[in-house]
Structure 1
Amino acid sequence: MTAFTVAPARGVELNCYDSGGAGPAVVLLHGLAGSAREFFPTADALPEYRAILVDLRGHGGSTRVPPGVARSDYVSDVVTVIERIGAPVVLVGQSMGAHTAMLVAAERPDLVGSLVLLECGAAGEDLDGHRAIGEYFRSWPTPFGSRDAASAFLGDGPLARAWAEDLEERADGFWPRFDPGVMAEAEAGLAAPRWREWHAVRAPALVVYGGQGMFTPGAKDAFVGQGHRVSRVDLPEASHDAHLDAFEDWVGALRGFLDREGLGQRRGRP
């Protein structure tokens, strides 16, 4: 995995990774408070593809406190990355990353050949939940004295383990690679409904939901039903973070879609 940087706007630098595969480009976008590292195993499971993993602004090794975290900022960032590596790409996202991927596909259909959305919707979300997210992240007793101390506080679930493993070690302890205030502001951008953008997406799309995820059965049906050229896979035992706690099923769904689209037969970078 080779790291590279992209500067999509003044005051913003994105940390990205390139698997170096010879096949079609698959760009992977993580969710809120995550990082590209969550998708390293997914990239490893796609050796014939050129996996591009992005630390979104405010996350991971990218600019920690960017000048803006509107939905349009994230869309512009991803557009810049895709233009840098060459289009069209398979655009894959989870949660907030899936929401971003959907908006990119709507705004720039020339850049997105296929779309994979893990735990995504277009109805908008309750702002009270976003405030709670900010309060939760601010409650972390940082810096943690060790990763074990972080694990003891965060818990032993797949997402908690990913957070603990992703902590940045500094001289005074272990810190999250995101700012709580930035996370709360970024998630607030998900509150507005985005049906118009979803209706505009024409790229073939796979929507994957966890049986224990954050969307109700009705919300799942509405989202898939109002899309174009959409297939759906449900992972009954998976959570909102199916790429972490139902990895084999997640990769099976992803690879199945790529195979159905005939992407596995193509060679050469876009």
Structure 2
Amino acid sequence: MAVVRRRPSRRWSGPFDPYDVRNPHHPRRRAHSSPGPSPRGQAHDHVPPAARPGRSPGRVGHPRRATAVRRPPRGDVRARGHGAGTRTPATTTREAHVQDAVALIEALEPAPVTLVGQSLGGHTAMLSAASHPRLVTSLILIEAGPAGPSPDLPAQIATWLDSWPIPFTSLEEAEAFLGHETWTRTLVRRDDGWHPTWDRTTIVDSVAELATTAYWEQRSRITCPTLLVQGEHGTMRPGEPSMMLTHRPRTQPVRVPDAAHDVHLDQPTRLHEAIAAFLRD
């Protein structure tokens, strides 16, 4: 989830991808002599930073990190249990994630801010805007909504994580399996190959409440303007976007062609254009 000032600069700096720790000691950066971004990463430099938890084109959503941006300064926070954050936090409840977001916003005064979130990061942004309206002036949800319950979600994510052929013998093998170079930045190198940094139980527990709960009531409490971005081949439930518009008429829908659940990776330029237009209004 990203926190952005309401009137950002014309050109955003920084990456638009998950788990980029932005330091020269990151394993992906050590693996390449070039100090600059990869060719695929260059496209992300034209998109405002936002939250995104892992990748899942064609699969169920996977929880992400959170990024905070303010001009100036800029902060960067991963969701608990993801990226460079605490690997096995004491709790992974939805409320705990919201409190993390609120603490971040309050640390980046002045509020209110624009929240941007994708997948579970978007769900956190939505709940934060619902419970702390004074802190949020506008909301951008990317492949995220209140629909539920989703009883099979924890098992689906567990099955997907278990399908990873760990360890990967190379970053190239990892990219071929995961589908985006960005996802290889979640890996660390050990003697026998490349391993993920996440803890399986923590990741699965992060979506436990989504298995039993719908969040339409919380969605109905949101008062700020909202941009809803859906990938043409995304994973939102049929009818969920239209119901969201019914519950909150101040919602602007955008459907991005040729994009799956990870719109920010599949169509970064189109996503940038949608976000920039929304923020200018």
Q: TM-score range by the shorter chain?
A: 0.7 to 0.9
- Does the C-alpha gap of structure 1 residues 210 and 100 become closer, same or farther in structure 2, counting only changes over 3 Å? same
Q: CA RMSD of the aligned region, Å?
A: 2.7
Question: Which residue does the alignment assign to 1:12?
Answer: none
Contact kept in structure 1, 2:63 and 2:120, CA below 8 Å: no
Question: Which residue does the alignment assign to 2:104?
Answer: 81
Instruction: Give the alignment of 1:90-239 within 5 angstroms.
Output: 90-152=114-176, 154-155=177-178, 157-158=179-180, 161-191=181-211, 192-239=213-260
- Does the C-alpha gap of structure 1 residues 223 and 69 become closer, same or farther in structure 2, counting only changes over 3 Å? same
CA drift of 1:95 comes to: 0.7
Instruction: Write the distance in 1 (CA, Å) between the matches of 2:253 and 2:21.
Output: 29
- Does the C-alpha gap of structure 1 residues 48 and 237 become closer, same or farther in structure 2, counting only changes over 3 Å? farther
Question: Which residue does the alignment assign to 1:30?
Answer: 52
Are 2:95 and 1:72 equivalent residues in the alignment? Answer: yes
1:60 to 75, 83, 97: 83
Kindly indicate which of the two structures has a greater share of residues assigned to strand.
1
CA drift of 1:220 comes to: 1.5
Question: Which residue does the alignment assign to 2:40?
Answer: none
Give the secondary-structure state (helix, strand or coil) at the position aligned to 1:237.
coil
CA drift of 1:146 comes to: 2.1
Instruction: Write the distance in 1 (CA, Å) between the matches of 2:259 and 2:95.
Output: 30
CA drift of 1:49 comes to: 7.9
Structure 2 residue ranges without an equivalent (≥5): 1-12, 15-19, 23-47, 54-61
1:85 maps to a residue whose letter is: L
Which ranges of 4 or more aligned residues in structure 1 deviate by more than 6 Å?
A: 47-50
Contact kept in structure 2, 1:33 and 1:178, CA below 8 Å: no
CA drift of 1:165 comes to: 3.2
Q: Cα deviation per residue 1:103-122 (whole Å; 9 max; x = unaligned)? A: 00011111111100001121
Contact kept in structure 2, 1:29 and 1:54, CA below 8 Å: no
Give the secondary-structure state (helix, strand or coil) at the position aligned to 1:110.
helix
CA drift of 1:178 comes to: 1.3
Instruction: Write the distance in 2 (CA, Å) between the matches of 1:101 and 1:173.
Output: 35
Instruction: Write the distance in 1 (CA, Å) between the matches of 2:245 and 2:132.
Output: 21
- Does the C-alpha gap of structure 1 residues 27 and 164 become closer, same or farther in structure 2, counting only changes over 3 Å? closer
2:91 maps to a residue whose letter is: G
Q: Which moved more, 1:222-231 or 1:85-94?
A: 222-231
CA drift of 1:204 comes to: 1.1
1:258 maps to a residue whose letter is: L
Q: Cα deviation per residue 1:165-196 (whole Å; 9 max; x = unaligned)? A: 33123444322121121111112222310011
Q: Cα deviation per residue 1:205-264 (whole Å; 9 max; x = unaligned)? A: 11111110012441211122211421111112211110100111100000001111xxxx
Structure 1 residue ranges without an equivalent (≥5): 3-14, 18-25, 261-270
Q: Could you state the TM-score of these two structures normalised by the residue count of structure 2?
A: 0.73
Give the secondary-structure state (helix, strand or coil) at the position aligned to 1:144.
coil
CA drift of 1:66 comes to: 0.4
Instruction: Write the distance in 2 (CA, Å) between the matches of 1:27 and 1:244.
Output: 12
1:206 maps to a residue whose letter is: L
Instruction: Write the distance in 2 (CA, Å) between the matches of 1:249 and 1:213.
Output: 15
Contact kept in structure 2, 1:103 and 1:197, CA below 8 Å: yes
Instruction: Write the distance in 2 (CA, Å) between the matches of 1:129 and 1:210.
Output: 19
Contact kept in structure 1, 2:65 and 2:80, CA below 8 Å: no
Aligned pair count reads 229
Contact kept in structure 2, 1:201 and 1:228, CA below 8 Å: no
Kindly indicate which of the two structures has a greater share of residues assigned to helix.
1
